[in-house]
Structure 1
Amino acid sequence: MPTARPIIATSPLQVCFDVRVCQPPDPSSPPLLQAATDRNNAERICHESKTLYQETEAGTLRTQAEGTRHLGERLQHIHFWKSELQRHIEKLVAETDLLLGQKRRLLKALDATEIPFAIATDNLTCRERRLGPDLVKDGVEEELLKEVELIRSIQALLKRTLSQAVNQIKCNRDAKQTLELDWSDKYQAYSLDDQCGRYNNMSTDTQYHPNSDNLQDQLCNRDAWVSFTQDNLSVAQREEQASVELRLLVERVLQETAEDLRVQCSNVDQAFSQRCLQLTEAKTQLQLHLTQILDQIGAQERNIVSLQQALYDKEAPLRVAQSRLHQRSHRPHMELCRDNPQFSLVGEAGQISQTMSSLQQQLSAARSSLSHLEESRMVLEKDIGCKTHSLLIDRDKCMSHRTRYPSIIALSGY
């Protein structure tokens, strides 16, 4: 009984069987007829086998070549997206480094504002020790208060900007990590597909994997694969753009805050200079008036001495006149008459008394004037002392302390 005979192709994947069974020989046919039939069947099977062999060989080679071509195209696609990922990873690294530099500048600028703040508050504290009429809210104090408020607002702005920079650096690193993971996956996929592309029929490291095609249901399609990488790149580009914009913002903030601080510092210095000039002029005027007052005090003291001497000089003539009148009052009887000497002596005594009264009034006025002059002298000396003390605070302490004010370069974070 003849059975189906296998036909082995050149490829292990192309094995087929002739399922057609030869017709049994007719029992009534002679052996010769049976032999001819068997020979014809054998020739037909050989011919069909050769045709099938050639067709399957060509098909297998064509299918394998097509698969190799698809692998090559796939390698090109993977290489393109891997290059794009690498390019954006490098851009993110560079951008993050630049942003880290801006972050360091923000920290330095924030630290640099502590010196102006300490200077301004110290100036305000020192000026609270001014005395008397100089302890007023003048232009210097107003500018110092503006400076303190400006420094506080700038510190708050720098802290907010620093927080934004820290968050953006984190976003940049997260996006970079996502791209690196995608790049790593593509690197492994490229290596695997490149190895697959190098397989051929002469390779010795190929094996049978009957269930390898069952994984197809678990794979994503090509559009999803491309979309996944494009989405990652889009996120990275958005973070790159946000980082660039933030760096520009940081640069503008640092520049503007440094300029604002230096402008306010100039305003305070100008107010100090103006105030010191006013104090110096006031002190000069006070010293001039004090000199005049001292001269006047000296003159008034001499005047008092002269008046006292004049009064003393009038005492003897008054005694003489009064003594004459007293002696003549003892004239006897009719000799006690109002004669010319009597009238002259009475007039002389009255004139001297009136003169002494006038001198006494003038002396009292001179003494009162001298007392007022002394009071004015004390007030002027006290006011000069206040002005000297205020100049010591404003010019020698505050203005000398302000020479430590940071430069615009230091305030910019360099």
Structure 2
Amino acid sequence: MSDLLVSRPRLDERAVTQHEKLRLHADPEATLRSNFLTSSGLASVGYRSAKYTPAEWVANNDLTLHQAVSDVKHAEKFRHESKALYTETEVRTLRTQAEGTKHLGDRLQDIHFWRSELERHIEKLEAETDLVLAEKLRLEKALDATEIPFAIATDNLSCREKRLGPDLVKDLVEEELVREMELIRSIQALHKRTLEQTVAQINSNRDAKRTLEMDWSDKQRAYSLDNQCGHYNNSSIETQHQPGSAKIQDHVTNCGQWMDFTRANLAVAEREMRASVELRQLIGRVLLDTSEDLRAQCSTVDQAFKQRCQELTEAKIQLEIHLSEVLQQIGAQERNIVSLQQALHDKEAPMRVAQSRLHTRTHRPNVELCRDAPQLSLVEEVGEINQTMSSLAAQLSGARASLGSLEESRMLLEKALACKTNSLLIDRQKCMSHRMRYPDLVTLSGY
């Protein structure tokens, strides 16, 4: 009966080969036996059974033992390496976590510093904006206060247009009033430009403050989050795995950009605060200068009014004196005319007598009608009376002409006196009394 050929258990050829090399190297006789067995085995390769040979059994046992020893040593070595590794990693992890906590603390200090700086600048900006708002209110009040001087100057010019006759003159008062109106217009334009600049500065301050507040809000949120992260520890129940959190995104800024951003915002706030302070100083100078200019021009106009009223008063006094003299002369001339008329009337009777005598003597008869002394005396008397009456008539005519001139002078003086009285009424009673409502320096300064 032929031998049954069965498959042999698989051996670790790598291990067997290595074991055989070690054994043959240690025992030369074993090498000879191995060569012999190999040559013998080749001869009976087709007739061998499935059983192991004793040498293979020994080799297999030796191999198993050697492999067990090797695995034990390798396991011990791996266990020692693992213990050293997890001990080292534990220390390194704790150290890294402590460094991270320290970095979080440093970061919290940085955020707190810049957040405090932002709070300080926000408060300063808010206080500065309130001051600028107060100056804006002053400007608006000062602008409104200029309406009264403008109305007074306009009313003065309108009233002075009602002056009569030759008193309607472009005098120093009118020139100063026109100059006052031009000054008020220029001051109003300056106030409006300054007011626009103030509104723009207030908006800039508010924009800068809004930017700082947004930055502060971001830092407040970041401080809260980092503070929360700083309180995390290995026993915290709030922690959980976030696999993608370690990836650095493209839009994340670095620390330099972070500080530069806040510094730039603070620099803008500082610039706006400096501009705001300079603007407030400019507003103060503008209000002071314009109010002083208005009050100075008001004093100049008032002085011109006083001088003009004094001139009008003096002219009125002179007119009244001359009118009084003219009235006196008119009365005297009227009495003179009456006297001249009476003198002419008184000459009619002597003329009638002399003419009647001459006429009667013309009836003398013949030689009696001679040029005797009475005749010559009567002729001379008639001529003298005619000459006297002619002189009196001429004098009466001159007196009447003089009276007419005096009447015309009286009318002119009375008309001029009425003009001066009207001008004084306008300048003193209307204009100067109206100018008493002129705002004072404090009101013109916007307080």
**TM-score, normalised relative to structure 2:** 0.84
User: Take 1:45 and 1:170, find their aligned partners in 2: how far apart are those partners?
Assistant: 72
Question: Alpha-carbon deviation of 1:74?
Answer: 0.9
Equivalent residue, structure 2, for 1:181? 214
Deviating 4+ runs (over 6 angstroms):
none
SS in 2 for 1:365: helix
Residue 254 to residue 27, structure 1, CA distance change in 2 (3 Å): farther
1:130 aligned to which of 153, 163, 167:
163
1:354 aligned to which of 387, 396, 403:
387
SS in 2 for 1:204: coil
Question: Alpha-carbon deviation of 1:387?
Answer: 0.9
Equivalent residue, structure 2, for 1:293? 326
Residue 368 to residue 206, structure 1, CA distance change in 2 (3 Å): same
Equivalent residue, structure 1, for 2:415? 382
Equivalent residue, structure 1, for 2:13? none
Equivalent residue, structure 2, for 1:83? 116
Return 5+ residue gaps in structure 1 as ranges. Answer: 1-23
User: Take 2:394 and 2:164, find their aligned partners in 1: how far apart are those partners?
Assistant: 40
1:236-385 superposed matches below 5 A: 236-385=269-418
Equivalent residue, structure 2, for 1:165? 198
Question: Alpha-carbon deviation of 1:207?
Answer: 1.1
Equivalent residue, structure 2, for 1:19? none
User: Take 2:395 and 2:185, find their aligned partners in 1: how far apart are those partners?
Assistant: 66
Question: Alpha-carbon deviation of 1:413?
Answer: 0.8
Question: Alpha-carbon deviation of 1:40?
Answer: 3.1
Q: Which amino acid aligns with 1:79?
A: H
Question: Alpha-carbon deviation of 1:222?
Answer: 1.2
SS in 1 for 2:248: helix
- Alignment root-mean-square deviation, CA: 1.7
1:43 aligned to which of 76, 84, 89:
76
Equivalent residue, structure 2, for 1:194? 227
SS in 1 for 2:60: coil
1:94-173 superposed matches below 5 A: 94-173=127-206
Question: Alpha-carbon deviation of 1:203?
Answer: 1.8
Q: Which amino acid aligns with 2:174?
A: E
May I ask how many residue pairs the two structures share in their alignment?
391
User: Take 1:380 and 1:216, find their aligned partners in 2: how far apart are those partners?
Assistant: 103
User: Take 1:52 and 1:128, find their aligned partners in 2: how far apart are those partners?
Assistant: 110
1:207 aligned to which of 221, 230, 240:
240
Equivalent residue, structure 2, for 1:15? none
SS in 1 for 2:243: coil
Question: Alpha-carbon deviation of 1:238?
Answer: 1.0
Question: Alpha-carbon deviation of 1:35?
Answer: 5.1
1:221-236 superposed matches below 5 A: 221-236=254-269
Deviations 1:105-135 (A, max 9, x none): 1111111111111111111111111111111
User: Take 2:158 and 2:91, find their aligned partners in 1: how far apart are those partners?
Assistant: 99
Deviations 1:196-221 (A, max 9, x none): 11112222221111211113444111
Structure 1 or 2, whichever has the larger Rg, is 2
User: Take 1:139 and 1:218, find their aligned partners in 2: how far apart are those partners?
Assistant: 75
Equivalent residue, structure 2, for 1:7? none
SS in 2 for 1:215: coil
Return 5+ residue gaps in structure 2 as ranges. Answer: 1-17, 20-58
Question: Alpha-carbon deviation of 1:32?
Answer: 5.9
User: Take 1:217 and 1:126, find their aligned partners in 2: how far apart are those partners?
Assistant: 79
User: Take 1:349 and 1:284, find their aligned partners in 2: how far apart are those partners?
Assistant: 52
Question: Alpha-carbon deviation of 1:266?
Answer: 0.8
Question: Alpha-carbon deviation of 1:78?
Answer: 0.9
User: Take 1:123 and 1:108, find their aligned partners in 2: how far apart are those partners?
Assistant: 24
User: Take 2:420 and 2:115, find their aligned partners in 1: how far apart are those partners?
Assistant: 78
Q: Which amino acid aligns with 1:253?
A: V
Residue 332 to residue 95, structure 1, CA distance change in 2 (3 Å): same
Q: Which amino acid aligns with 1:409?
A: V
User: Take 1:128 and 1:27, find their aligned partners in 2: how far apart are those partners?
Assistant: 143
